[in-house]
Chains A and B, each alone.
Chain A
Amino acid sequence: MEFVATVVILTCTYALLAAGIVILYKAGRVVNFAHGEIAIVGGYVFYSSGMMFSGGEMSPWLAVLGAIVFSVIMGAFIYATMMRRVVGEPFYVAILVTVGIAIVLKSAIIVIWRAQHLTIDVGIAPAIRLAGGATLSYMDVASVALTIAFFIALYLFFTFTRLGVQFRGTAENPLLASQRGVNVNLVLSLAWIIAVLAATLSGVLYGGRAFLSTESVTIGLAGLTAALVGGLDSLRGAVIGAFVVALAQYLTVRLIDPVLSEALPFLILLVVMSIRPWGLFGTVEELDRV
C-alpha cells in the first residue's frame, strides 16, 4: 500500500507540474524550464508564510494565503516583465529566458532560505492507516483531492466557457484575438498565474512527502518529461505522462539503482520520442512549431 500511496502522490506532483507546462505551452508556445524552481520556491513560501507569525507552529491558513499571493504576484510578474517581451522572437529566446529565471530562483533559495532542507509539516497528524503500515496524512488526501479538482476545473474551463474558447484562440493567434476584443495580456497573465499556482501546489505536495532543497528542483524536469511524454499540447496527456514517469521512477529506485532515477525520466523520454515524438496525446503539427 505504501507503493500505491507514493505513486499516487508522485503522480499528482508531476501531473500538476506538467499541467502548468502544458498550459503555458498552449497559451504562448513557451516551454518553461523553470517550473521545478517555481514549484520549490512556492513550497518554501508556503512553509515560511505558515511559520511567519505562529512561532514554530505551522498555520495552514496563513500558508495557503501566502502561497496564493505568491502565485499571483510571481505569475503576473514573470509575464509582465519578461515573457511579454519575447513574443515574436525566435523560439529559443523564450526558453532561455525561463532557464535564466530558473537560475535566479535557485539563487533565491540559497540566499533567502540558506538552501536548508525543509519538510513541510502542516501539523495535522496522519490519520488514515493503510494496510502494510503506510500512512496517509490528511494533507495528502487534501492535496490529491485538490489536484483532481484542479484538473476538472481546467477541463470545464477550456471546453465550456467563453473565456476558455478565447484562451484557445489566443493560444493560436494572439494578434487576431486582440483584434477581436480579447485582452491578450490579461489572458496570458492568467495562464501564468494558473501555471504558477499549480506548480506551488505541486511544490507543497512534494515538500510534504519528501523535502525541499536546491536539489529537489529536478522535479521540474520530471514534470517536463511528463508533459512531453503525454504530448506538449494535451492536458489529458499530462496526467498519463505523470503516471508513467512516477511509476517508472518509483520502480527504479526500488528495484535497480537510485542514481539511475534522475536519468530515468529522460530515458523514457528518449524512447517515447523515438517512437512517437509528439507524445501520447499530442498533435503532430506541434513538432514544427517550436
Chain B
Amino acid sequence: MTALLEVRQLEVVYNRVATAIQGVSLEVPEGSIVALVGTNGAGKTTTMRAISGFLPSEDAEITDGEITLRGERINGRMPHQLAKAGVILVPERDKVFSTLSVQENLAFAGREGGAITIERIHGYFPLLRERGTQLAGYLSGGEKQMLAIGMALLCRPTLLLIDEMSMGLAPIVIKDLMEKLQQISRELNLTVLLVEQNAKAALSIADHGYVMESGRVVFTGKAAELMTHPDVREFYLGGAGQAENKSYRDIKQYRRKRRWWG
C-alpha cells in the first residue's frame, strides 16, 4: 500500500470494436508528480478519461483491469462521484466555463471549509484577481489554463489530473506554469498526474514518467532516467543518440522505423 492511484492492466474499447489501450498499468505515489507522455493517439487521453470516469460519454468502456484510489476500486463510477472523491481533471479543451465570469468560475467549484481558498488561488495566480469580472471566454490560453488549475484546486483534489497543459502555449508560459505547478504540488502535498505531448517540459518537473505508444506503456522509470534514455530522447525529446537536437534538414529521405515492438 504505497501508491495513491493504481491502474492495473487497463483495457479500453471504443464503440465495442476499437481497442484504444491495452494492459496499461501505472502507479501514482502520494505527493508526487507523475508524467504520462506520448504522442497524439497513443492512448494518454483515453487513460486519463478512464481514470476520471468520462468514458461512457464517449461510447467507450473499460473491458479489463482496474483502477484503485487508496486501495478502493473506482472504475465505473460517475464523474461527479469521482470529483467528490477528489479525482479532479483539467481537460485538454473547454477547461473553463466561457460564458461565466472568472469569479463565477471559481465560485462554481469552491466549497466552504477547504484548506484552499480563493485567496490562496489569487496568491498563486494574481492575474485571476485582476480579471475577476471578465468572462472566462475572453482569457488568453495561458490565463485559461491558470483559471482551470485554480478551479480544480478549489475542488479539494486528492489527485489532480491535467491533460495537455502545455498545448498551444508559448514556451515561456509553459515554463512558468510548470514551475508553478511544481511549487503548488510541494506546498500542498498534492498528487498530480500530468498527461503531456511536450515530454521535455513534463519530465522536467515530474518524479516519475511513463511513455505510451499505440495504447501501451513502452517505457517507465524515474523522470531523470527517462530524460537520458537514448530511445526516449530520439523519439520524444528530439535528439538522436548523442547529438542534441538534430536538425530537420538532415533527416534521411527514407521512412524510418521504430526500434521497439509493441
Contacts and interface: CB of A to CB of B under 8 A. Distances in A.
A273 interface: no
Contact of B57 (A175, A180, A182): A175
Contacts of A165: 100, 104, 107-108
Interface string B73-96: 000001110011000110100111
B54 A181 contact: no
A176 interface: yes
A176 B57 contact: no
A168 interface: yes
A181 B84 contact: yes
Contact of A173 (B52, B79, B80, B97): B97
Contacts of A166: 108
B155 interface: yes
Contacts of B107: 165
Nearest to B94: A173
B100 A169 contact: yes
The residue among B80, B84, B96 with the most chain A CB atoms within 10 A of its own CB is B80
Interface in B46-72: 52, 54, 57-58
B46 to A, nearest CB: 15
Which range contains the number of A residues in contact with the other chain?
10 to 19
Interface string B89-121: 101001111111000100111000000000000
B83 A178 contact: yes
A168 B98 CA distance: 11
B151 interface: yes
A181 B84 CA distance: 6
Given A165-B100, A165-B108, A183-B78, A175 B155 contact: no
Interface in A140-174: 165-166, 168-169, 172-173
Interface in B190-206: none
A88 interface: yes
The residue among A88, A173, A185 with the most chain B CB atoms within 10 A of its own CB is A173
A182 B80 contact: yes
Contacts of A263: none
A194 interface: no
Contacts of B84: 181
Contact of A178 (B58, B80, B151): B80
Nearest to A173: B94
Contacts of B96: 176
Contact of A172 (B95, B98, B151): B98
Contacts of A173: 94, 97
A168 to B, nearest CB: 7
A286 B42 CA distance: 35
A172 B100 contact: yes
A166 B155 CA distance: 14
Contacts of B78: 178, 183, 185
A175 B108 contact: no
A180 B83 contact: yes
B163 to A, nearest CB: 11
Contact of A179 (B79, B98, B99, B100): B79
Given A178-B83, A181-B109, 16 more contacts: A87-B57, A165-B104, A168-B100, A169-B108, A172-B98, A172-B99, A172-B100, A175-B57, A178-B78, A178-B79, A179-B52, A179-B79, A179-B83, A180-B151, A181-B80, A183-B80
16 contacts: A165-B100, A169-B97, A172-B97, A172-B99, A173-B97, A175-B79, A175-B94, A178-B79, A178-B83, A179-B52, A179-B54, A180-B83, A180-B108, A180-B151, A181-B109, A183-B80
